[in-house]
């Protein structure tokens, strides 16, 4: 009974992901047939996946294989292949025609298009199971979406700080003031080229003041505010001292740019929000609590996933600047 149960579960996950992302859909070949709970279906499924793969390789798209990962379990396994291609915007209709021709390969084929900031991403599925992803980039657009990852709540443990700084050279750190190793972690991070921010999420910090806090976190260029300590006075002080401020959105709103990634049940949903925002808008900021050393393995895996998914992890300050410029551009002229 394992393979039909897994197949149904996988279909639910795939279709749920589509609903969460709310893609702009142009290609929907036809409603996927009900998954047939039979050994014959399981035996024929890998052959059908390979037929779709050949059709992609033989199409006029000229797509190149970027990565391949295995999906499923021992009862049913198939490769999920990611193809990439770069085209001029003038060739958009030709690409759509070539992709649309794939519909004739298999009666259970589904095509869903998600618009991205620099092209499109096409999800290809068989009987509701994701088998291929086609990533189409416009030749005149930025190469990859970017995420500024800020690892916060540091300052209590030098060993955890060392592990954080070893994750990726572009990770930014947010350090709690008035903690035993606040200054040491800040100096260490700067020596390795990491951007340093002040973690202003503890209510107790407000009583001692922003200026005193900055003395314990030397070299901070910005402030991470928590929802409980987001006061107008603190934000005004930050602006007066030339510091940018980040206030993570905890509701996962679609237009948000700064997201909080919390351990627990909300982790996957928050990560999906970050990735969706980066792919649609070109950039996003994620703030994760790094005080728990056990979470670092999860963060390391996330960085690997982003590298594989062609999402670039960058310093947070350029994204803050770009977001500010985009907000100014959207304001009506006075």
* pLDDT average, residue stretch 250-266: 70
What is the model's pLDDT at position 313? 92
Q: Quote the percentage of the chain above a pLDDT of 90.
A: 37
Same domain, 106 and 18: yes
Same domain, 38 and 152: no
What is the model's pLDDT at position 125? 93
Return the ∠ at Cα 124 (arms to 258 and 279), rounded to 5°. Answer: 20
Same domain, 215 and 119: no
Query: Tokens for 202?
Result: 């503890």
Distance CA 322, CA 325 (A): 5
Residue that is written with structure tokens 């950039």 in the block: 283
DSSP class of residue 249? B
Residue ending a domain, choose from 138, 161, 187: 138
Same domain, 230 and 133: no
Q: Are the CB atoms for 286 and 274 separated by under 8 Å?
A: yes
Distance CA 21, CA 163 (A): 33
Residue ending a domain, choose from 72, 105, 138: 138
Same domain, 264 and 198: yes
Q: What are the pLDDT digits (tens) for 32-62? A: 444 555 788 888 999 999 999 999 999 999 9
Residue ending a domain, choose from 111, 138, 165: 138
Residue 333 host element (H or E): none
Q: Which residue has the higher pLDDT, 233 or 49?
A: 49
pTM above 0.75, yes or no: no
Residue 130 host element (H or E): strand 129-138
For the chain, the distance separating the N- and C-terminal CA atoms, rounded to the nearest angstrom, is 66
Domain CATH code at residue 210 = 3.20.20.370
Other CB atoms within 10 Å distance of the CB of residue 312 = 16
Q: What are the pLDDT digits (tens) for 157-190? A: 999 999 999 888 789 999 999 999 999 999 999 9
Q: What are the pLDDT digits (tens) for 292-314? A: 777 888 899 999 889 887 788 99
pLDDT class of 333 with cuts at 50, 70, 90: very low
Same domain, 242 and 263: yes
What is the model's pLDDT at position 171? 93
Same domain, 30 and 86: yes
Domain CATH code at residue 115 = 3.30.460
Domain that holds residue 299: 146-330
How many domains, in total, are found in the chain? Answer: 2
pLDDT class of 31 with cuts at 50, 70, 90: very low
Distance CA 124, CA 131 (A): 6
pLDDT class of 195 with cuts at 50, 70, 90: very high
Same domain, 8 and 125: yes
Task: Report DSSP letters for 39-106, one per residue.
Answer: HHHHHHHHHHHHHHHHHHHHSTT--EEEEEEEEE-SSSEEEEEEEEEEE-GGGHHHHHHHHHGGGGS-
What is the model's pLDDT at position 287? 94
Same domain, 209 and 283: yes
């Amino acid at each position: 009974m394992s393979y039909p149960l897994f197949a149904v579960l996988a279909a639910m996950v795939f279709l749920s992901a589509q609903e969460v992302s709310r893609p702009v859909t142009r290609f929907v070949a036809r409603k996927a047939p009900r998954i047939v709970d039979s050994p014959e279906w399981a035996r024929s499924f890998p052959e059908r996946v390979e037929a779709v793969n050949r059709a992609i390789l033989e199409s006029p798209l000229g797509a190149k294989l970027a990565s391949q990962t295995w999906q499923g379990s021992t009862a049913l396994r198939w490769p999920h292949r990611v193809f990439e291609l770069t085209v001029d915007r003038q060739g958009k209709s030709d690409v759509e025609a070539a992709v649309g021709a794939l519909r004739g390969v298999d009666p259970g084929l589904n095509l869903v298009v998600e618009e991205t900031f620099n092209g499109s991403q096409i999800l290809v599925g068989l009987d509701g199971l994701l088998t291929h992803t086609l990533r189409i980039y416009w030749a005149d657009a930025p190469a990859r979406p970017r995420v500024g990852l800020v690892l916060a709540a540091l300052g209590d443990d030098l060993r955890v700080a060392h592990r954080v700084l070893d994750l990726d050279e572009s990770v930014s750190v947010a350090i709690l003031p008035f903690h035993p190793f606040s200054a040491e972690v800040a100096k260490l991070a700067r020596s390795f080229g990491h951007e340093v921010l002040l973690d202003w999420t503890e209510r107790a910090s407000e009583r001692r003041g922003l200026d005193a806090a900055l003395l314990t976190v030397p070299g901070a260029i910005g402030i991470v505010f928590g929802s409980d300590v987001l006061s107008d006075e603190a934000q005004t002080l930050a602006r007066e001292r030339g510091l940018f401020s980040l206030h993570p959105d905890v509701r996962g709103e679609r237009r948000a740019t700064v997201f909080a990634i919390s351990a627990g049940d909300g982790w996957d949903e928050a990560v999906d929000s970050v990735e969706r925002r980066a792919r649609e808008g070109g950039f996003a900021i994620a703030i994760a609590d790094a005080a728990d050393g056990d979470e670092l393995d999860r963060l390391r895996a996330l960085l690997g996933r982003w590298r594989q998914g062609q999402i670039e992890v960058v310093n947070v300050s350029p994204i803050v600047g770009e977001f500010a410029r985009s907000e100014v551009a959207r304001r009506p002229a006075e």
